[in-house]
Structure 1
Amino acid sequence: MGNDPDLINDHGKQPFKYRLKGYFSPGGFQPGEKKLVQKIDFFILTFCCLSYFLNYLDRSNLNNAYVSGMKEDLDFRGNQLNQINTVFTVGYIIGQVPSNLALYYVKPRIFFPSMMVIWGALTMVTASVQKPQSIMAIRFFQGIAESSTFVGTHYILGSWYTARELGKRSGIFTSSGLAGTMISGFIQTGIHSSLDGKSGLAGWRWLFIIDGLITFPVVIYGFIFFPDTPHTTSAPYLSGAERHLAISRVPEVPAKKPLTWRFLKTVLTSWQWYLFVVLWIIAGETESFSSNALLGLAMKASPTRKYTIAQLNNYPTGVPAVGIISTLFWAALTDFWGGKRYLVAYFIGITGIATSIMILKSRETSVVFAAYYWAGSVYACQATFFAWANDAMRYEDDQLRAVVIASMNMGSNAVNAWWSIVFYGANFAPLFTKGMWAMIAASIAMIFWATLLVFFTSRHEKRRVDEVTRRDISELRYSVDDENAQLQ
């Protein structure tokens, strides 16, 4: 289609309707590529999305349990909920880079499900706790196990998909986590109404048991069907020709090599590591309204209105619902516009400033709810920014790409470990005044940093194209000289 002169306008570009049709047609133009993409879509996305859905379900159930009786049963005091989340974050930080490097040496088909077994078991153990300190210990190790899912999946997606396909898949994957957050509230409501007191257990304890149990069918599915990477796959549903095609679609991956001090120097001197890590640190804090479940905490601490347990669990689900719509919209749109991921940064900056002002200036319940729901749209940065990093590093060393992607999430969580306590502690509810000003500052920083990153990525891409062009010209000249020599 792209070479048909009838489909080219006077400016040398395809008309919009043909670009739109081509965008939504899966696969490329190589024979068998459409079928290959459909297969890897099914087996990779089903496992990764279910895994991330359960990951977020197990993670967000703590806040649901907190507002559903756990606070009173375990006698939570002060900022203990935030302290537990911080301990989880510390474990999550520790596991980031080792987990992504492990995928470079251990088959993902083994590593991903093994981590799921650990975090699923720890979720179930949480049902037996008698004090907040016990949850702190459990969540630390749960954070280490869960650290493999988010950055690991983005590494895998970057290993299988082309730049044209990556944004949509990243968006679908990220939305599955938001669905876990959204559905967790409805699950807790159902469990509380039907199982509270059954076998002598409170409803919030049943939540941890059930969330842990439903993890294990996905574990079995992953052990059997996950396809690893194009260069290591032995999936029975991929033919030999399809495996070769999968390898040809992505840059060549060098042979595995041991970690060295030289590699560490390469990481620490690469502009990608610094700029993308700081980008995600800032982006992580623009998600603070949603990631710290502020709407639920504000409702719980409201001095003027008493909300029911069902309302405390159900009303905040609108935040991740908006996040899902925003994520899918921006992931698809930035793919269609040729990978202009930076547009999301400007949208997030405007959103953060506007919603903070709405909450600071208004005491109307409807306005505050609207601001928190709108703030959920900033979740779009998860899919687009990791796709941006994968795009920018597609032709770099695969180890470096793995470390940069892991370091992005590690850096963000390292800052969020104390940021959430300083600005969004539960004792600051319902207004979170300091947090509103922190959000405005983070949003302004996002706009500035994204602009800086656009400059560096554009310059790097131009340099890479020039290098490829010079190499091609050199190879062509060598071929011509060799042919002339043979003729003489």
Structure 2
Amino acid sequence: MAPKFVQYLRGDQKAPGERKLVQKLDFFILTFCCFMYFLNYLDRSNLNNAYVSGMKEELNFKGNQLNLINTVFTVGYTIGQVPCNIALYYVKPRIFFPTCMVIWAGLTMVTATAQRPQDIMAIRFFQAIFEASTFVGTHYILGSWYTERELGKRSGIFTASGLAGTMIGGFIQTGIHKSMNGRHGLSGWRWLFIIDGIITLPVAIYGFLLFPDTPRNTKAPYLSADEKTLAISRVPKVSERTPISWTFLKHCFSTWYWYFFVMLWIIAGETESFSTNALLALYMKSHPTNKYSVTQLNNYPTAVPAVGIVSTLFWATLTDFMGGKRYLVGYWIGITGVVTSAMILASPYNTSVHFGAYYWAGSVYACQATFFAWANDVLRYEEDSLRAVVIASMNMGSNVVNAWWSIVFYGANFAPFFTRGMWAMIAVSIAMMIWTALLVWMQMRTEKRREAGTTATAIVGKESNITGSQDKEMGGGVSKKV
């Protein structure tokens, strides 16, 4: 098994020049997409970092206004999902992604001028619309270039880059707070948003110049004509239809793919709630006895995305190696959600148990890479526009629920114990395991039908060839007699 695993890690491309092609794709696609997602998540996590680093007091936050800001962001992010993925059909990704980056970088810097929580709400709404292109758009692009055996590992690397942004954001805020707090009359948390926006711009320029678009429309100067042809041949040839038409919409909603994968990610999105709602930071900020410094509030929670990075890369690589068994992650996160919630409910005043449970819960982040790779795998033989809309709808559906879920179950006013949220986590974790089993059953049924259809087509083709050969022979015999 070990030699096979080493071969898998190195790549198992068979066609001449295929390994070189994949190495080029890895460099130019993954570097841009990972830096883009890193900066995207750095910005999102830094709102929470700023909140515990002086923004709460300076802007006079009340009650659950932080959750309301996150909800407003979620609404904008939800609105942008499907339009952003459809836009990739009409605007080249090489233009679309960097343009969105420039806009949300500018809005990030504008956040430094906020004087009230309401100012941040307005900024974050529009910022979210343009940030919506990053996650689902990249998964669509990855599915356009990579094979089933390559996709999970690349999706994992991409997702891990976002988690790295969350993790590093705490350290960056700590450094800025120490070195720049009060400089030119600006608080450290304001400098954080300014610096976030500035470091985003060089990555956008890189994307304008070198991102390769998709196999069928790429004009990347570093890909030869043979490599472009090879890239097209590596993925199944599927039918195309415009994503903006009633015919397409009817087709989209008549398939099981949309319903099952959207529901999968709605449930999975809520199993990430401990981490995405920064519960550990809020727990520390509202701890009944312990008082934590700004440095501790920013640094201690970074272990959560660190665990997420390890878990994401582990499961993405393992499920690739095992032939795409992405469903294993569904069972893992279901068990994790039940156990970590039970730990916290059973020991409400044990700080060590809380830290351990929240750190372990970070492993649930693995579902981001594997579930979107799962959707790409299953939809590989369907038309591209359906795959794009399903992937976008998954994230849209999750964010529609997140818009109210975080307020109802994980509002800052429920800190430090979030008892209601613990019971909600147990419920969605059990639902996760059940839905995973149902989706596996649907996938197996579809694959059997596809295989049966392929076999029937092959038999018909063979019979046609035999009949044609017989007719030719009979025709030849008649001509000799005449």
TM-score normalised over the length of structure 2: 0.97
In structure 2, the partner of 1:378 is 364
Cα offset, 1:278, TM superposition: 0.4
Give the letter for the 1:441 counterpart: A
Q: Which segment drifts farther, 154-163 or 258-267?
A: 258-267
Asked if 1:483 corresponds to 2:458, the answer is no
Q: Select 1:450's aligned residue among 436, 441, 446.
A: 436
Answer whether contact 1:27 1:33 (CA < 8 A) is retained. Answer: no
- What residue number does 2:226 align with? 241
Report the counterpart of residue 9 of structure 1 in structure 2: none
Q: Which of 33, 50, 54 does residue 69 from structure 1 map onto?
A: 54
Q: Distance in 1 between matches of 2:460 and 2:137?
A: 38
Match of 2:381, SS?
coil
**Does residue 394 of structure 2 align to residue 408 of structure 1?**
yes
Cross-structure match for 1:337: 322
Cα shift at 1:17 = 3.7
Is 1:84 aligned with 2:91? no
- Which secondary structure does the structure 2 equivalent of 1:175 belong to? helix
Deviation of the 1:21 alpha carbon: 3.5
Q: How many Å separate the matches in 2 of 1:76 and 1:39?
A: 48
Residue aligning to 2:161: 176
Q: Where does residue 479 of structure 2 map in the other structure? A: none
Structure 2: runs of 5+ lacking an equivalent: 475-482
Give the equivalent residue in structure 1 for 2:477. none
> What's the C-alpha RMSD, in Å, of the aligned pairs?
0.9
Amino acid at match of 1:266: H
User: Following TM superposition, by how much is the alpha carbon of 1:22 offset from its aligned partner in structure 2, in angstroms?
Assistant: 3.1
- Shift of the 316–97 alpha-carbon distance from structure 1 to 2, 3 Å rule, reads same
Alignment of 1:72-221 (within 5 A): 72-221=57-206
Q: How far does residue 253 in structure 1 lie from its aligned partner after superposition?
A: 4.3
Percent same amino acid among aligned pairs? 71
Q: Please identify runs of 4+ aligned residues in structure 1 that moved more than 6 A.
A: none
Tell me which residue corresponds to 2:411.
Answer: 425
- Count of matched residue positions in the alignment of Structure 1 and Structure 2: 473
Aligned residue identity for 2:354: V
Cα distance, 1:104 vs structure 2: 1.9
Task: Provide the C-alpha distance between the structure 2 equivalents of 1:141 and 1:29, rounded to a whole number of angstroms.
Answer: 46
SS at match of 1:214: helix
State the partner residue of 1:12: none
Q: Secondary structure at the match of 2:88?
A: helix
Write the distance in 1 (CA, Å) between the matches of 2:257 and 2:241: 21
Which one is further off, 210-219 or 97-106?
Answer: 97-106
Aligned to 1:270: 255
Contact residue 27 and residue 37 of structure 1 kept, 8 A: no
State the Cα distance separating 1:364 from its structure 2 match. 1.6
Q: Distance in 2 between matches of 1:28 and 1:21?
A: 13
Answer with 63-72 or 261-270: which moved more: 261-270
Bigger shift: residues 262-271 or 307-316: 262-271
Aligned to 2:271: 286
Give CA deviations for 1:44-64 in whole Å, capped at 9, x if unaligned. 000000000000011111000
Q: Which residue of 2 aligns with 1:13?
A: none
Structure 1 partner of 2:452:
466
Q: Does 1:250 align with 2:240?
A: no
Equivalent position amino acid for 1:398 in 2? D
Alpha-carbon displacement from aligned partner over 1:21-42 (angstroms, at most 9, x marks no partner): 4312324110000000000000
Q: Which range moves more in the overlay, 52-61 or 466-475?
A: 466-475
Deviation at 1:184, TM superposition (A): 0.2
**Alpha-carbon distance, 1:397 to partner:** 1.3
**Counterpart check, 1:390 vs 2:369:** no
Offset from partner CA, 1:233-268 (integer Å, 9 cap, x none): 000000000000000000124455362111111111
1:367 is displaced (CA, Å) by: 1.2
Which position in structure 2 is the counterpart of 1:227?
212
The 3-state SS of whatever aligns with 2:290 is coil
8 A contact 1:348–1:378 mirrored in 2: yes
1:351-366 paired onto structure 2 within 5 Å: 351-362=336-347, 363-366=349-352
1:394 is paired with a residue of what secondary structure? Answer: helix
TM-fit CA distance, 1:486: 2.2
1:325 aligns with 2:310: yes
In terms of mean alpha carbon deviation, does 188-197 or 261-270 score higher? 261-270
Quote how far apart the aligned CAs of 1:164 are.
0.4
AA at the equivalent of 1:428: F
Q: Distance in 1 between matches of 2:2 and 2:169?
A: 40
1:301/1:429 contact within 8 Å kept:
yes
How far is the alpha carbon of 1:18 from its aligned partner? 4.4
> Deviation of residue 480 (structure 1)?
2.2
Distance between the aligned counterparts of 1:34 and 1:474, measured in 2? 36
TM-score (norm 1): 0.96
Matched, 1:54 2:39: yes
Deviations along 1:164-223, one digit per CA (max 9) or x if unpaired, are 000000000000000000000000000000000000000000000000000000000000
What SS does the corresponding residue of 1:459 show, helix, strand or coil? helix
Deviations 1:53-102 (A, max 9, x none): 00001111100000000000000001100000000000000000000111
Does 1:25 pair with 2:45? no
Cα 1:306–1:164 change in 2 (3 A) is: same
Task: Give the whole-Å Cα distance in 2 for the aligned partners of 1:258 and 1:436.
Answer: 40
Name the amino acid aligned to 1:44: I
C-alpha distance in 1 between matches for 2:322 and 2:28: 27
Q: Distance in 2 between matches of 1:331 and 1:206?
A: 36
CA, structure 1 residues 196+71, in 2 after alignment: closer, same or farther (shift >3 Å)? Answer: same
Change (3 A) 1:135 1:146: same
| Aligned mates of 1:37, 1:101 — CA distance in 2 | 26
Match of 1:436 among 407, 410, 422: 422
Structure 1 stretch displaced more, 356-365 or 242-251: 356-365
CA positional deviation for 1:156: 0.4
Alpha-carbon shift at residue 477 of structure 1 (Å) = 1.8
Query: How far did 1:487 drift?
Result: 2.6
Q: In 2, distance between residues paired with 1:253 and 1:95? A: 26
Structure 1 unmatched ranges of 5 or more: 1-15
